Amino acid sequence: MESNNRRNFLKKSALGATAFAMPLPMFPSSILGANDRLNLGLIGCKGMGWSDTLSVLKNSGVKLIGLCDVDQNVLDQRLSEIDKIEGQDSKKVKTYGDYRELLDNKDIDIVIIGTPDHWHCKMMVDACEAGKQIYVEKPIANTIEECQIMLQAAKKYNSVVQVGQWQRSGPHYKKAIEIVQSGVLGKIRLVKVWAYQGWMRPVPIVADSAVPKGVDYQGWLGPAPSRPFNANRFHFNFRWFWDYAGGLMTDWGVHEIDIALFAMKALAPKSIMASGGKLAYPDDASETPDTLQALFEFEGFNMQWEHATGIDLGPYQKPEGIAFIGNNATLVLNRGGYEVLYEKERDGYNGWGDNKIEPIANMGVPEGVNYLDLHTTNFVDAVRADDPSSLNTYIESGSVAAINAQMGNIAFKTGEKLYWNAENNNFGDNEKANALIKAKYHNGIELPMV
């Protein structure tokens, strides 16, 4: 039977239908037929937002007609690149500095949100209200409260919302999940998830400076606290500052945690604790920890997250991955493939029962298959079918991964072992931890209400 903790977390946070492979409702068909054109608008045109756009545009019948960014320099760059994309015409693309104006364009059917994390919630809720179908980058939000609001909005407006956790569309990930859920690994008592990022070097300290020409800095800050412009907090490196993101715990963590919890059919931990800090680069400009271990206690197993910058040699000699450690065997999975390492009988004792699986050498990624393309095609197909249940990473799965990652960060910030109270949707009487669940919006922008 499902524990009260799980049931209450599902009830309070509206999470878990995807994690339990339960079908979502089929919404009335009201969008487009399979052969109709889809008009695309992009909000946040740098980095993954543009990568997602290029991938979506590989699908027939999709036309880019709107670009929005607070940096005119980025808009100019993307406009210059559009005519190089087969079937696209830069003359038919409108540009916007304010995302609300893009959402007001009735011709736009689907929207990609590729902005920094602190903007995701407000933009996604507004896009739902505007009747758009949405591809939102991971992590879906910067607080637990925002994650829950986004899920509520998607359900209220019957929106098709795919989260950019594209590993879930990968064939070798799907096969590995099948193995985990088949039971052949035996009782799984520990799941390790990790990201060792050797490419990451110290972020040099730089002085505050004037806002670059062409940048709407207030538009970039949005709901984040007002601060003088600093290049370190702008493009890309925003990830390492708490105002806008959650560091590697949320940037990489949601990818790996998503696979781990989906495979284990798990939702909310009973307890969380974390330890780490700026141990590699104590004097650089970043705020988020460059070294972190977090331990999540679930019903029947633990999940251990760890990350480290500046080094690549992680567990099982892999820079990133997931290890499902069972009594019979361990499955090790990452972007390069998966392998199964089995436990051998020792000293005549085989107390866990017969091994049900033989060792499997590394099963790699299918040649020539782009997993991001599979993910965006899945999104386009779901939009055309008006069928959120067919999404590989519906907003519910995105919220499960992001909420757990946020819990890890909250445990780190408080320095305490936290206990999740599913009935009250909080950390019990821990006021410090409970305060970090909430979103605090600034600059006259209000947290969206659903």
Q: What is the pLDDT of residues 336-385, one digit of tens each?
A: 999 999 887 766 666 676 666 777 888 888 888 999 999 999 999 999 99
Maximum CA extent, the chain = 75
Could you tell me if 99 and 164 lie in one domain? Answer: yes
β-strand pairing of 271-277 with 291-298: antiparallel
**Nearest residue to 165 (alpha-carbon basis) of 392, 9, 411, 352:** 392
Could you tell me if 207 and 303 lie in one domain? Answer: yes
Residue matched to tokens 């995807």: 18
Could you tell me if 230 and 131 lie in one domain? Answer: no
β-strand pairing of 360-364 with 188-197: unpaired
Q: Does residue 8 form part of some domain?
A: no
Could you tell me if 217 and 127 lie in one domain? Answer: no
Could you tell me if 285 and 331 lie in one domain? Answer: yes
CB atoms near residue 189 (< 10 Å): 12
The model's pTM is 0.91
Query: What's the structural domain count of the chain?
Result: 2
Tell me the per-residue pLDDT of 118-147, one tens digit each, with 9 for 90 and over: 999 999 999 999 999 999 999 999 999 999
Q: Does residue 441 form part of some domain?
A: no
Higher model confidence: residue 2 or residue 33?
33
Range of the domain at 222: 171-366+404-435
Tell me the per-residue pLDDT of 239-273, one tens digit each, with 9 for 90 and over: 999 999 999 999 999 999 999 999 999 999 999 99
Could you tell me if 222 and 159 lie in one domain? Answer: no
Q: Does residue 5 form part of some domain?
A: no
CATH assignment at residue 199: 3.30.360.10
Residues of the chain with pLDDT > 70: what percent?
90
Could you tell me if 354 and 375 lie in one domain? Answer: no
Backbone dihedral angles phi then psi of residue 200, each to the nearest 5 degrees? -80, 125
Give the whole-angstrom CA distance, residue 75 versus residue 95: 7
CB atoms near residue 57 (< 10 Å): 19
CATH assignment at residue 45: 3.40.50.720
The answer to whether the CB of 438 falls within 8 A of the CB of 287 is no
Give the whole-angstrom CA distance, residue 416 versus residue 246: 18
Supply 66's token pair. Answer: 């709107």
Tell me the per-residue pLDDT of 39-48, one tens digit each, with 9 for 90 and over: 999 999 999 9
Give the whole-angstrom CA distance, residue 416 versus residue 91: 56
